A and B are shown apart, each in its own frame.
Chain A
Amino acid sequence: MAVDGQKQTVSLEYYSWIATQLKNAEERGTTDHLPIEDGTTVRDLLRQLADESPKFAELVYDCAGDRIKEYAALILNGQTIELAGGLDRTLAPGDQLLLLPGFAGGA
């Protein structure tokens, strides 16, 4: 989505391999500014991004299951999304979203 100066926006930072895989960016990441409407929820935004990008649907948001996949983790204004109202959370202008790799590894 393009930045529209007339609209209110939230930021979405892609970090680590999420950035390399989805945005062809460096591991240190890249940030998009995304327009939102009144009442846009986290789910609405993720669904829109998944509709636009099959890779986003594969790695981040499972539309059919309505969930963020284990590969990824989403932080909203410094708080993990599950503790910040979940996918039902209504976004406000200026909200900062951070998309991270999920938890991996271990024995």
Chain B
Amino acid sequence: MPYTGRMLRVDLSRGTSSVEDVDPDVLRKWIGGTGLGVHYLMQEVPPGVEWDDPENRVIISTGPLAGTRVSGTGTVSAVFKGPMNNLAGATQANGYLGAFLRSQGYLGIILQGKADGLKRIAIDENGVRITDATTYAGLPVWQLEDTIRGEEGLTDKQLSVFGIGPAGEHKVRFSALVGDRGHVASHNGIGAVLGEKGVKAITCKRGKVRPHVADNAKLNELVKPLFVDAKEFGGGAIFNWGTGGGVSGAARGGWLPIKNYTTSIFEEHEKISGQYLRGNFEWKTNPCWACQMGCCKLMTVTEGPYAGYSGEEPEYEGLASMASQIGITEAGAATMLANECDSLGFDVNELGWLLGWVIECFERGLLTKEQLDGLEPRWNDPENALALMKKIATRDGCGDWLAEGVMRASRHVGGAAGDAAIYTLKGHAPRSHDHRARWAEMFDTCLSSTSTIEVTSGGIQTERLGLAPTKNRFDPDEIVEQMSQLNGWHQFEDSLGICRFDFTNAHLGTATVSAVSGYDIDVQESLKIGRRISAQLRVWSFLHGMDPSLERPSTRYGSVPVDGPAQGANIMDHWDRMVKEYRKKIGFDDGPGLPLPETLKALDLEELIPVVEQLRAERGLAATR
């Protein structure tokens, strides 16, 4: 028997909920997670519905692996229209929510409408309750979690709690959905969308429904080797040190963001690395559902001015954004700032770009103390960074225009300050790297339809998919070839309900998906499913007014490093040619980049062929090849 799914639909305007079965053909075509989200987005969010429209949807769904005994399978993917670019966002969070939803018999939640006031959506064995959450107003997420679990008398392993912080309540454009002790669906302002809808918290109690497994014997054979591969992948770096273990390598390799890209040299990197944190602070493992990797830790600072501060161990992005990007050289300060960021409910990537830009502008005299309500933020200045964060989270004073994100804030100030901001011209935030030394990621970030990287990552290599390997990471032709081959893999992966770090072996992974789902899925089929998701999202983006001329980095984002390992490297010399070639290689036209009819047919998306034809006619988008 293949796997089946039920979606929970919550109408916040009416205060009602209902349950609907997912058509088996829909499930086979879109699998779950991001795929299912993109399916519902196309079905239910038509052109003209903007990010803050009650008719916008937030589809939070997991996939076939979630809640099974496969390591790291508590993951959800959220798909929605977001405020950073008024286009789609697809963003994932680990923890327990995905597993607990399945344990209550649900594959996901579709949120629609707009509530009258703040609400909590509470899911347990008795169904769904939409309860008043006004008493939680203003609570940072960590306190929100503690408060709700305290009221219920349940632990964090019995009740998954996700929510928005003050940032989401105040519709900060880069606010996030945060929960289960430090897990964050961060991209494209999902927190603002939930804040607009009036959703303060989503909670799900652990239930008793066991997720479907088609072939238990086969799954038993695969669980351990899949984990062992993940554990040993990349020299065991994630297993041993978590993502923060990559900070020093990034610093010495030139891809750690440092002081808003003004330099690529950061001598103090070992003081803020994951190795330093685990070697000097107190910590204990805080694993996600069934996770044997155990890369998530709870941590207490034991030295320096923030000694005694407790929270989550910052991940790589937290250390990059809340340390090197803003010049912080003290691990306790970085830990404090990264935790406050999550608890206030920000996307740490965009917050880092924003704070780094403010500091650089203030240091250069492009922003004044008066413009910043009396604050004088400097590099390596945690208290002023924290003060700015608190103002932004509540849109207090200068926090109001800063809450619009760095693209809009820099345009608000204008002049030379405008050229110092790091963003994609579509509006969404790059991840916390110096992509001038990682050309594939910059290229991917700008062309993506997910509002974050869509194709690339270091989590899997081309050779592991049986594809041609990469030789030169600064060769435009190789990057285009690599990306065209990898295209689809991560969208498939994000449809399964598993953490990427537990899914490092494509062949074992797809065999595991087959054993659980009852589908027959190999690597090629998984790529086809992922490419289907990407192509549909691309068409949806055009339907919602996406301007392909904006698929470029800002001036600073696309600038040339002045020092460090990638000094002098300039991707912009190759950009336009790379875009054309990439689009051709993935079966899109080489102009605006819409899927060609034969591509849509090959991906079983024939229904989109007339949609694309109409788009081309209406917007004058030629199908050049």
Binding site for B on A (CB under 8 A): 15-18, 20-21, 27-28, 59, 62, 65-71, 73, 75, 78-80, 82-83, 86, 98, 100-107
Contact = CB atoms under 8 A, between A and B. Distances in A.
B94 to A, nearest CB: 9
A17 B237 contact: yes
Interface residues of B, number: 53
Contacts of B566: 80, 83
Contacts of B216: none
A80 B253 contact: yes
B471 A73 contact: no
A10 B69 CA distance: 50
Contact of B469 (A17, A67, A73): A67
Nearest to B500: A107
A66 B513 CA distance: 34
Nearest to A101: B249
Given A80-B437, A101-B234, A101-B235, A17 B474 contact: no
B253 to A, nearest CB: 5
A83 B246 CA distance: 22
Interface string B461-479: 1110000011111110000
19 contacts: A17-B236, A18-B235, A27-B275, A59-B235, A67-B470, A69-B463, A73-B249, A78-B564, A80-B254, A80-B473, A80-B565, A103-B438, A103-B441, A104-B246, A105-B459, A105-B501, A106-B500, A107-B91, A107-B457
Interface in B430-478: 431, 433, 437-438, 441, 452-453, 456-459, 461-463, 469-475
A24 B565 CA distance: 26
A75 B252 contact: yes
Given A83-B566, A104-B238, A105-B458, A70 B255 contact: no
A79 B561 CA distance: 12
Contacts of B494: 107
Nearest to A98: B252
Contacts of B91: 107
Among all A-B residue pairs, the 10 with the closest Cβ atoms: A104-B458, A17-B235, A106-B457, A103-B458, A67-B471, A101-B249, A80-B565, A70-B461, A82-B474, A21-B235
Contacts of A102: 234, 249, 253, 458
Contacts of B568: 83
Contacts of B458: 70, 102-106
A75 B270 CA distance: 18
A107 B452 contact: yes
B569 interface: yes
